[in-house]
């Protein structure tokens, strides 16, 4: 028994149907903690170099952290990782909900899915009983429909993660859905499950999680909950959640509009959290052990759809970025992609890219099978999303992801795709936000905001200034990814200003170990080097060229608060030079053998040298 852990890793080989339990060793627990760190380690060590993401040789890793499922506030994160079919590199993506706790109650800290089944299956875990079961009756159903069907066929108290038809059809930005509205959205993890014919994972556990100092944890947790509840921002964030940032993003000119061609939205008041609350609110929704409960169930009368959310990223990417009229259009698009099982960020990016091609006359109504892809045309967008999920007509091209679609379409259209490393931008424009842009450029999965949400510092430190921005990103990239190592949500820290040291205290109370912030940050840098090493190994010619911002950022912003702002190559080079230096990487952004050895990754250094990826 290791405090803080369920104790076992479940290895499922879908080719043979075999299921094996491996013990979590004290070394794995205490040297590698869990969550995304385990995923990075296992991915580097177990995946054959150059593996095709959609082949049976790729694996999917589903990991909790030592705090997941404990009393600690918002200890509700589980991380999904694999070699991404969208980017060809490292991906991990996390979700909230309840399944992380259930998995640990079943005595499991991680699931490794290997091989591929010939027929649709789902994994059913009930404490020590694990079965690979026939899923042919669920295949072809949407993500949410599948979850309901499984809840009906098993029991209400099973926690279930599913893929939709997009995942079945290997759409490269297909996402995993759980608890109706919680998604591990990014990088196409569900397409990998689809290639393995794994439709769902259902878990029910009844065992306790061992905790080293339960009384200490209870006391600590109670004091943190009291602290959070007394914060002035608590009621507002609890009520509006991420939608509360919409007005701010509009006022400072970072909300994406019409595929990042503008950064302020005239219809802002029809897509913000306040309007959503007035028009569509049904009830609040929270994840496991969360005092905040920042999510919302909503209902759109206009379209007769129920949805959890929309969250801000969806409001940005599927709302203003597509020129949608109001929150109700966003809700129906959100409900569509949730049930089809597609990432709302990359879906928004794909539709926005298509609409810009239509705007410029590069693709026509005929190309889109009769759809008029004008900005704000919700009916066309809905139909187009269905074409993508089913890989029908032009949908097959866009199902590859916006960047790959541009390469198929050709005609110099790549410059209209707003992405880094093939992963589409989150909903923060970076024409005048160097720190946020550097965060996108260097995030270890592609252009995702969560590794370093530096937009706040861009505004507070001055939009144009580069000075000190590299340090901001460097620091955030050490702290924030640790949340996905521990298996907790970042909102108590970010929104309620719970001190990071309180997380370290909780970790020590749960595990009985003596972790320090300094040690954890050094560990975080080790993991950051490991994911960088994975990219270096997997992608030919990887380096600085892959850390470039999208062409759109080099075009001057035509209007709004950031009118005239544009990014220059000199600015990009300056940001990257400082960044690589801070990490002790070479000029091309590759980890050096010496640095890898210093951070405790000697075996990775040897491997990359042997493969000729880096000099010794």
Query: Where on the chain is the footprint of another protein (CB under 8 A)?
Result: 71, 73-74, 127-128, 142, 144-145, 148, 151, 156, 179-180, 206-208, 218, 221-222, 225, 229, 282, 286, 289-291, 293, 297, 304-306, 308, 335, 339
Residue 517 CB, shortest distance to another protein, in Å, is 25
**Considering Cα of 311, then 551, then 471, then 43, what sign does the dihedral take?**
positive
Q: Which is nearer to another protein, 206 or 568 (CB)?
A: 206
Beta pairing partners, 189: none
Neighbours of 308 (CB within 10 A): 20
Residue 262 CB, shortest distance to another protein, in Å, is 34
Q: 370: exposed, middle or buried (C-beta count within 10 Å: 0-12, 13-18, 19+)? A: exposed
Residue 274 CB, shortest distance to another protein, in Å, is 22
CA distance to 123, 136, 140, 305, per residue, from 146 (Å): 13, 11, 9, 17
Residue 115 CB, shortest distance to another protein, in Å, is 29
Q: Which is nearer to another protein, 27 or 156 (CB)?
A: 156
Residue 69 CB, shortest distance to another protein, in Å, is 13
What's the CA gap between 240 and 263, in Å, rounded?
22
What's the CA gap between 246 and 486, in Å, rounded?
29
Neighbours of 173 (CB within 10 A): 34
Q: Which is nearer to another protein, 293 or 512 (CB)?
A: 293
Q: Which is nearer to another protein, 53 or 142 (CB)?
A: 142
Tokens 């580069």, residue located: 466
What's the CA gap between 206 and 524, in Å, rounded?
32
Query: What tokens does 366 get?
Result: 């005929």
Residue 299 CB, shortest distance to another protein, in Å, is 9
Q: Which is nearer to another protein, 204 or 480 (CB)?
A: 204
Question: Which residues lie below 8 Å from residue 311, measured CB to CB, with a gap of 6+?
Answer: 241, 242, 243, 295
CA distance to 109, 297, 501, per residue, from 505 (Å): 21, 34, 6
Residue 323 CB, shortest distance to another protein, in Å, is 26
Residue 521 CB, shortest distance to another protein, in Å, is 28
Q: Which is nearer to another protein, 239 or 584 (CB)?
A: 239
Beta pairing partners, 284: 296
Residue 145 CB, shortest distance to another protein, in Å, is 6
Residue 591 CB, shortest distance to another protein, in Å, is 40
Q: Which is nearer to another protein, 127 or 475 (CB)?
A: 127
CA distance to 83, 135, 162, 193, 301, per residue, from 167 (Å): 15, 14, 9, 7, 29
Query: What tokens does 404 get?
Result: 């790959």
Q: Which is nearer to another protein, 107 or 560 (CB)?
A: 107
What's the CA gap between 250 and 275, in Å, rounded?
15
Tokens 């040291």, residue located: 501
Q: Which is nearer to another protein, 145 or 555 (CB)?
A: 145
CA distance to 177, 207, 339, 468, per residue, from 154 (Å): 18, 19, 20, 54
Is 130 in a helix, a strand, or coil?
Answer: strand
What's the CA gap between 429 and 455, in Å, rounded?
9
What's the CA gap between 544 and 349, in Å, rounded?
24
What's the CA gap between 67 and 35, in Å, rounded?
10
Residue 31 CB, shortest distance to another protein, in Å, is 28
Residue 229 CB, shortest distance to another protein, in Å, is 7
What's the CA gap between 360 and 415, in Å, rounded?
13
Q: Which is nearer to another protein, 83 or 490 (CB)?
A: 490
The helix or strand, by DSSP H or E, that contains position 295, with its residue range, turns out to be strand 295-300
Q: Which is nearer to another protein, 222 or 594 (CB)?
A: 222
Q: Which is nearer to another protein, 167 or 316 (CB)?
A: 167
């Amino acid at each position: 028994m290791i405090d803080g852990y369920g104790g076992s890793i479940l290895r499922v080989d879908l080719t043979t149907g075999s299921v094996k339990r491996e013990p979590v060793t004290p070394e794995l627990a205490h040297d590698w903690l869990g969550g995304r760190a385990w995923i990075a380690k296992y991915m580097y060590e177990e995946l054959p170099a150059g593996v095709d993401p959609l082949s049976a040789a790729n694996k999917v890793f589903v990991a909790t952290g030592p705090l997941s499922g404990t009393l600690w506030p918002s200890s509700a994160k589980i991380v999904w990782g694999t070699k991404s079919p969208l980017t060809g590199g490292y991906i991990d993506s996390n979700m909230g909900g309840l399944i992380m706790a259930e998995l640990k109650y079943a005595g499991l800290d991680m699931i490794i899915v290997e091989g591929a089944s010939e027929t649709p299956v789902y994994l059913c875990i009930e404490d020590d009983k694990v079965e690979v079961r026939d899923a042919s009756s669920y295949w072809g159903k949407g993500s949410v429909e599948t979850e309901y069907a499984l809840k009906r066929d098993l029991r209400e108290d099973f926690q279930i993660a599913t893929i939709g038809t997009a995942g079945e059809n290997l759409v490269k930005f297909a996402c995993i859905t759980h608890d109706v509205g919680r998604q591990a959205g990014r990088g196409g993890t569900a397409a990998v499950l689809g290639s393995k014919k794994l439709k769902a994972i259902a878990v029910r556990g009844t065992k306790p999680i061992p905790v080293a100092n339960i009384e200490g944890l209870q006391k600590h947790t109670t004091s943190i909950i009291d602290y959070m509840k007394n914060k002035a921002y608590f009621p507002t964030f609890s009520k509006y959640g991420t939608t509360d940032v919409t007005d701010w993003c509009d006022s400072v000119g970072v909300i994406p509009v019409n595929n990042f061609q503008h950064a302020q939205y005239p219809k802002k008041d029809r897509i913000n959290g306040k309007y959503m609350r007035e028009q569509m609110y049904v009830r609040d929704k929270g994840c496991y052990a969360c005092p905040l409960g920042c999510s919302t169930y909503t209902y759109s009368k206009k379209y007769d759809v129920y949805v959890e959310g929309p969250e801000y990223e969806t409001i940005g990417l599927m709302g203003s970025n597509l020129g949608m009229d109001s929150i109700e259009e966003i809700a129906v698009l959100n409900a569509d992609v949730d049930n089809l099982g597609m990432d709302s960020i990359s879906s928004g990016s794909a539709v926005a890219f298509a609409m810009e091609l239509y705007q410029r006359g590069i693709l026509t109504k005929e190309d889109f099978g009769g759809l008029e892809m004008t900005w704000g045309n919700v009916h066309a967008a809905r139909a187009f999303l269905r074409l993508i999920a089913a890989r029908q007509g032009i949908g097959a091209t866009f199902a590859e992801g916006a960047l790959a679609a541009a390469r198929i379409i050709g005609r110099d259209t790549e410059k209209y795709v707003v992405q880094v490393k093939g992963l589409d931008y989150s909903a923060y424009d970076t024409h005048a936000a160097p720190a946020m842009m550097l965060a996108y450029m260097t995030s270890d999965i592609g252009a995702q905001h969560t590794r370093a949400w530096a937009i706040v510092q861009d505004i507070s430190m001055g939009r144009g200034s580069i000075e000190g921005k590299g340090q901001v990103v460097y620091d955030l990239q050490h702290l924030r990814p640790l949340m996905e190592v521990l298996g907790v949500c970042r909102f108590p820290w970010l929104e309620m200003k719970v001190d990071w040291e309180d997380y370290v205290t909780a970790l020590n109370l749960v595990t009985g170990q003596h972790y320090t912030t300094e040690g954890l940050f050094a560990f975080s840098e080790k993991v950051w080097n490991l994911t960088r090493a994975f990219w270096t190994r997997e992608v030919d010619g990887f380096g600085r060229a892959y850390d470039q911002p999208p062409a759109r950022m080099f075009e001057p912003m035509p209007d709004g608060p950031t009118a005239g702002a544009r990014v220059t190559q000199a600015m990009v080079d300056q940001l990257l030079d400082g960044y690589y230096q801070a990490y002790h990487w070479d000029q091309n952004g590759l980890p050096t053998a010496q640095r890898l050895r210093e951070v405790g990754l000697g075996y990775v250094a040897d491997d990359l040298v042997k493969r000729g990826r880096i000099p010794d």
